[in-house]
């Protein structure tokens, strides 16, 4: 059984994962409307993965005797100036989520909730992967610069690129 502090902290994480899913959906839509269909496919998949992360939390809260809350979400940013802009935002978002996961881990330790602490290790590993991925994409874009051929290939490669190899939430 989780205590109220843990329940509240986990419910906050539900919101963050849901918002991440919405942010990436907005990024996918922008990319699709700007001719980057590969980047759009990447963000549509990433958005789905974040939703799975959210669902995993909801099920955990309920299974452990808590009550998962479904909250209103903030409106995501809809316009971006470039692919670099979008991937900068992706990195920023993932860094924020990593920080929140670390805070959650700290609360678990304070509350001596080792079961939730253990459950959250999957999220810790996931965040490391996702931050690294965003940095790799930014490095690639830096190399490409304004080369149109390079941007074409970048977009094409992303159409089949898995946002996170373990991001389906089922391999935890």
Whole-number minimum distance, CB 27 to ligand OFO, in Å? 13
| Residue with smaller CB distance to ligand OFO, 51 or 151 | 51
Q: Give the shortest CB-3-to-ligand OFO separation in angstroms.
A: 24
Number of residues that bind ligand OFO (CB under 6 A): 9
Stretch that binds ligand OFO, among 4-12, 34-42, 73-81, 123-131 (CB under 6 A): 123-131
Give every CB contact of residue 113 below 8 A, 6+ residues apart in sequence: 2, 3, 6
The residue with tokens 């390079």 is 150
Are the C-beta atoms of 80 and 86 separated by less than 8 Å? yes
- The 3-state secondary structure of the chain reads CCCHHHHHHHHHHHHHHHHHHHHHHHHHHHHHHCCCHHHHHHHHHHHHHHHHHHHHHHHHHHHCCCCCCCCCCCCCCCCCCCHHHHHHHHHHHHHHHHHHHHHHHHHHHHCCCHHHHHHHHHHHHHHHHHHHHHHHHHHHHHHHCCCHHHHHHHHHHHCCCCCCCCCCCCCC
CB of 24 to ligand OFO, least distance (A): 9
Minimum Å gap between C-beta 17 and ligand OFO is: 5
Q: How far is the CB of 21 from ligand OFO (least distance, A)?
A: 8
- Asked if residue 7 binds ligand OFO (CB under 6 A), the reply is no
Query: Of the listed pieces 68-76, 125-133, 137-145, 146-154, which binds ligand OFO according to CB under 6 A?
Result: 125-133
Q: Which CB, 55 or 144, lies closer to ligand OFO?
A: 55
Among 7, 94, 113, 155, binds ligand OFO (CB under 6 A): 94
Residues that bind ligand OFO (CB under 6 A): 17, 20, 50, 53, 94, 97, 126-127, 130
């Amino acid at each position: 059984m989780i205590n109220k502090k843990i329940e509240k902290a986990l419910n906050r994480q539900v919101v963050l994962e849901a918002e991440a899913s919405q942010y990436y959906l907005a990024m996918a839509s922008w990319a699709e409307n700007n001719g980057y269909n590969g980047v759009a496919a990447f963000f549509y998949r990433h958005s789905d993965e974040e939703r799975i992360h959210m669902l995993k939390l909801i099920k955990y809260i309920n299974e452990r005797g808590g009550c998962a809350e479904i909250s209103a979400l903030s409106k995501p940013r809809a316009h971006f100036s470039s692919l670099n802009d979008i991937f900068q935002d992706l990195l920023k978002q993932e860094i924020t989520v990593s920080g929140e996961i670390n805070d959650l881990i700290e609360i678990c330790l304070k509350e001596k909730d080792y079961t939730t602490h253990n459950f959250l290790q999957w999220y810790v590993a996931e965040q490391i992967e996702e931050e690294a991925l965003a940095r790799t994409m930014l490095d690639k874009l830096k190399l490409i610069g304004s080369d149109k051929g390079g941007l074409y290939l970048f977009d094409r490669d992303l159409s089949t690129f898995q946002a996170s190899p373990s991001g389906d939430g089922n391999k935890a």
